[in-house]
Amino acid sequence: MKDRDAIEALIDRLVVAENFGGKPALDLKIALLSLVLDQLKYENRIADDVVDFETYIQSKIFADTDKLFFAAPLLTKKQGTGVAPIRLQSPLLLFLLLYHRNRYHILEIIQRFIGKVHPQLTYLDFKKTKTGVIRCFTNTRFAAHVLRDYGLLKFTHLQAYKTWELSLAGFLVAANIFHKRSEDNTHWSIPAHSKEKFNFDVLPEIRTACDEIKDYDTFVARLASICAPDTEVFETFEPALKNAHALLLGYWKTLNNPNLKQQDRRAASLECIQKLEREGISNKFYEEFSQCININEFLSKIPQPQQDQL
């Protein structure tokens, strides 16, 4: 917003707020004015499409001492759809690693996740869709659904309807993302992405995250890299983990297979993850593995974004 200072100064002069406690004065006045306008829209039955978003976002908006001016553009341009869902995949996996013990429900995951990446989003990302949902919320859901379809998130009735949780493959990828981004403190960075050949719908950063895992020892080392020292879970579940490692070698090949159609790639990837969970990577493993992860240590090392919530 180009004339933000003048507009804020006008609101500060226009609105008087009393007996609301010690909240920041300008923030409070903007919030109250927003609520008044919402109520007026409701009482006057003003439709949301009286002014379309593209026209508003391209209008010139400025203020003087007592008026707020809006000058619509002569021609409007398409403004796009904000940050594409595929670009949210990597930071979302990292969020689900760092906060998986909190057992947040899906809406709370989305709200807190958007709080982490908020500084990189624009007002366009907060446009409401035709269904009345904020665009970046919808795009986060789309990102999670693709990750789940490929088996990077668990898929049970609990996970499908109430929360999102990492699968074993998801933990492996998220661990790699955490370590790489810790090198330059870009944990919540939203990566750039251009459409690839072969219709891949998972980020390259995710598809290649386990390229260096060639044997069982490096497989366990990746998991151990996010755990406390002397973790016993790898000994307790060694047979199941060895089987999982063998199955995952095929999983990564499938995930990167350019000769498969997108639908077939998704189905084959998910089947591989479901098979390894049927064959020993059970809820008991996930529970014990979760308790070994150095969550508090990791969180203490991550700089918090300037704006960590909506």
Q: Name the 3-class secondary structure at 74.
A: coil
Tokens standing for residue 130: 């035709």
pLDDT tens string 58-70 = 889 989 888 999 8
pLDDT tens string 166-221 = 999 999 999 999 999 988 888 899 998 887 777 899 999 999 999 999 899 999 99
284 and 219 both lie in a single domain: yes
Mean pLDDT of the residues in the chain:
88
69 sits in which H/E element? strand 68-71
15 and 93 both lie in a single domain: no
pLDDT tens string 250-282 = 999 999 999 999 999 999 999 999 898 888 788
Say what the pLDDT of residue 309 is. 46
**Residue 216 Ramachandran class (φ > 0 left, ψ -120 to 50 alpha, else beta):** alpha
272 and 152 both lie in a single domain: yes
Q: Stretch 75-94: mean pLDDT, rounded?
A: 85
Whether 57 contacts 123, CB under 8 Å: yes
45 and 192 both lie in a single domain: no
pLDDT tens string 13-57 = 999 998 888 778 999 999 999 999 999 998 999 987 788 777 887
pLDDT tens string 184-198 = 888 899 998 887 777
Domain of residue 187, residue span: 89-121+141-300
Tokens standing for residue 83: 């940050």
20 and 166 both lie in a single domain: no
What b/e string do you get for 33-64 counting C-beta neighbours within 10 Å, with b at 16 or more?
eeeeeeeeeeeeeeeeeeeebbeebeeebebe
Whether residue 310 has pLDDT greater than 50: no
Distance CA 232, CA 182 (A): 26
